[in-house]
Amino acid sequence: MQKQYLERIFPCLRWLQDYNRGQFSSDLIAAVIVTMMLIPQSLAYALLAGVSPQVGLYASILPLILYAIFGTSRTLSVGPVAVASLMTAAAIGNLGVENDLDYLNAAIMLAFLSGVFLILMGLLKLGFLANFLSHPVVSGFITASGIIIGFSQLKHILGIQASGDNLIDLGETLLTNIADVNLVTMALGFSVLAFLYWSRRGLKRRLTALAGPVPALQLIPRIAPVLAILLSSVVAYAFTLGDYGLALVGEIPAGLPSPVLPNFSNGTWVDLIMPAILISIIGYVESVSVGRTLAAKRRQKINPNQELIGLGSANIGSAVSGGFPVTGGFSRSVVNFDAGAETPLASFMTAIAIAIATLTLTGALAFLPNATLAATIIVAISGLIDFGVLKSTWKYAKSDFMAVFATIVITLLAGVEMGVLSGVLISIFLHLYKTSRPHIAEVGQIPGTEHFRNVDRHTVITHPGILTLRLDESLYFPNATYLEDQILKRIADSEDLKHIILMCTAINEIDVSALEILEALNQYLKDLGIGFHLSEVKGPVMDSLKNTSFLEHLNGQVFLSQHQAIQGLLQRRYERARQDPDYIDYQI
């Protein structure tokens, strides 16, 4: 019992007890590859978040270790990511912070608040709340965020000033300052962009053609950013390009971060609560989606509520080490998985490697051009931009298309915070809209069977005077009136209606508001002389109904199956016709 309790708190104990040398070798190889990918990403996403480059490295050490202890995914790679970095910059930009120290404190505070919020959600087992943000809406938000990120980095590629957290402001400031383009910066920036895109596409095709789909060779293009950093730094140093206006990273202090906590005395934390919540929600949804996908490939599973605690711990760790909000990265996690990572120890090793780099390699990054980091960001986020979701949702469901389209437009025009809020509201509205107008089918019996199907889709047997409606949704306050309207409409269209059967196959719950409408409908049908019956009511629903007086006043019967309902009503009609010659004898 105690062992299970400890494993629930520290999921790492489950895989540590069976850890072996073969897993260690696989984890070590994956850690080396992910480290080479994470170093340039950490520096680049720090630039995107608006903090010093070394802060990106700080955010890639302790968070990885804490997630390895408390997380449940064996291959998820936690650290700085593009969307969270952009949301960090947007949130702090709204505060009007004037100096670097206050800016960094705000970033640390965001990470801390995000961590606290995620851990609280995990302890309260509220992981299901993320389901209110639909996948198409998340895809739309990430697509729009990717576009904003790309435009925000053009200022570093062109060597000009630009600002704004939406497409309009960014485009306006870029056009205003376009005359100040630095040709040296632009030449270097576009050269790095061309190299990185070629390494992703052309180099990958050549490696496949030469050696076939060898997993190790396929990972080579993933570490191209490291080569881009090395080459561009050498070029900048050799030709003293800094003297020609090329912006460089400059001296990065060596050493590990000192423990720190955010300063809450200035009161800015109040303004950061909502951005922290939004960053947490988006980060959690992205992480869980990646974690589930990778876990399924190895027939593993993750615990969504424990993931909240794992990601929350990672963000607390980032704050303590002077970093900014982190979450699970899609591209890094896929690389970690493809490189053969077996357990979270691979992330632990990656953290150690990043720590060594922070101690020894920061001096070599002084001549790293900002344009190189910007190019790295642009190439990294290009995979996030997916307009295919518009095409697929248009074909499948127009309502989902409108939700995705609205999220993209609002994010592009109003910024990422409004984009997230609109995404949440649109997802909830879309859910309520769909459930408020549930599918209601008139059903009939398939000849020779006891099965009942939609009369519009199948050749079925129906009986005059008997109407069976199947509600394909739970019955609660947004849709109960819709059901009532549909029944009243059918009554108005049929003068000979004697019985209405509500087939409850898909009804998992009936709330109090819906029950009141059913009671009123039952009384109305009783006054009209129309029987109101239920069939195939699920056990939990029947238990709830038995706790009320609804069944006592029901103007009809509750049947175990739809077949029994039809047979029972037809038999009653037959017996009534035999007793009363004036009774209309419908053919059975």
Task: Count CB-CB contacts under 10 A for residue 583.
Answer: 12
Q: What is the SS3 assignment for 524-571? A: HHHHHCCEEEEECCCHHHHHHHHCCCHHHHCCCCEECCHHHHHHHHHH
Query: For residue 546, what are the CA distances in angstroms to 68, 405, 518, 549?
Result: 49, 46, 14, 7
pLDDT for 586:
44
Contact 184, 241 (CB under 8 A): yes
Compute the distance between CA of residue 196 and CA of residue 317 in angstroms, rounded to an integer: 32
> In the chain, what percentage of residues exceed pLDDT 70?
94
Over residues 20-68, the pLDDT tens digits come to 999 999 999 899 989 988 999 999 999 999 999 999 999 999 999 999 9
Q: What is the token pair recorded at 129?
A: 């709340």
Over residues 400-438, the pLDDT tens digits come to 888 899 999 999 999 888 888 888 888 788 878 888 889
With b meaning 16 or more CB within 10 Å and e meaning fewer, what string describes 458-491?
A: eebeebebbbbbbbebbbbebbbebbbebbeeeb
Q: What is the token pair recorded at 145?
A: 């965020």
pLDDT for 5:
75
Positions of the chain with pLDDT lower than 70, given as ranges: 1, 130-132, 202-222, 577-588
- What's the whole-model pTM score? 0.82
Complete domains list, the chain, with CATH: 24-361+371-432 (no CATH), 440-579 (3.30.750.24)
